Amino acid sequence: MATDGEISHRFVETNGIKMHIAEAGSPGNPVVLLLHGFPELWYSWRHQMPALAAAGYRVVASDLRGFGQTDAPLGMEKYTSLHIVGDLVGLLDALGEEKVFVAGHDWGAIIAWDLCLFRPDRVKALVALSIPYSPRNPKHSFSQSLKRVLGEGYYFSRFQEPGRPEADFARFDTKTLVKKMLLNSKGEVLVAPKDKEVMDIFEEPTELPPWISEEELDYYAQELSRTGFTAGLNYYRAANLSWELKAPWTMVKISVPALFVTGDRDLVYFTPGIRDYIHKGGLKADVPNLKETIVLSSGHFMQQESAGEVNSILVSFFGEII
């Protein structure tokens, strides 16, 4: 086990893969499981881990399947939500934890909602950042709906195309890619014109905001270079297969206590129909135990941009459930 200050690192065998996890806090304390998004790592939660540990939790943040030091199996079909949730259930078993608190951001939020959907018996409460719950529509997947509304140039649709995003990304070094994606704060839907690629609509900032440093970007670049981006892109490519496999859970509601957090400059918050769904009763109807929806003054990567506020939200909400 390697140790980095308050955070220790090790590997766990789960669901046929070797998963890298970072841990903080004392064994025996209630566990909080933190799930990152794209293009990210356990490191996205570096500000939350010490805060939650200080509040009396054992904190576990993994590199999800395909990211960082965790195994990246070949094949799009190995990245359905059932595979990723299977990894997490195996992780909880390896940790000896029957039931945990969960926080997820971006793809980590999607997976966290599905963990609550498939195995509510393993989740005490959930905080989802950026992505609200979307129950399975029997007629078409969420990504198919977005493609119909926003067209072929929508970033989610482009990321599903075999090879195209890899060729797009290959024009830049890894650090530049990460910088362009993490520091996007336009607060708009990402749709590329027909004659441009997705990365063409991301600007590279001339200076860094106060919430991230060159050294932190270097760490992202180093770790994401281990596997490249194809495995992470396979989450997008497997979305329609996940929709097919989730047929038994069509229109099922989420029963666990939950809290939803978004940012007023989060690109997801500008997706057509999302605001009405969040604020006019749709999300509450699909998540009856939803306690609150919080809108931060933040962009998409809020646990880094607004770390102190997110820390307070997690500690307060999970503290209410204990």
220 classed as catalytic: no
Joined together, the tokens standing for residue 255 give: 């029963």
Residues ≥6 apart with Cβ < 8 Å to 272: 149, 150, 189
Residue 147, strand partner residues:
none
Identify the active-site residue in 154, 220, 236, 269: 236
Joined together, the tokens standing for residue 47 give: 């500000």
- The answer to whether the CB of 258 falls within 8 A of the CB of 126 is yes
Phi and psi for 200 in degrees, rounded to 5?
-70, -20
Q: Is 162 left (phi over 0), alpha (psi -120 to 50) or beta?
A: beta
Distance of alpha carbon 161 from alpha carbon 53, whole angstroms: 41
Identify the active-site residue in 106, 168, 266, 286: 106
83 classed as catalytic: no
Long-range contacts of 274-279 (CB under 8 A, 24+ apart): 274/132, 277/132, 278/132
Check whether the bond before 132 is cis (ω within 30° of 0). Answer: no
* One-letter amino acid for residue 123 of the chain: V
> By three-state DSSP, how is residue 248 classified?
helix
195 classed as catalytic: no
* One-letter amino acid for residue 151 of the chain: G
With the CA atoms of 236, 237, 239 and 240 taken in that order, what torsion angle do they form, in degrees rounded to the nearest 10? 150
Distance of alpha carbon 240 from alpha carbon 203, whole angstroms: 30
Enumerate the active-site residues: 106, 236, 300
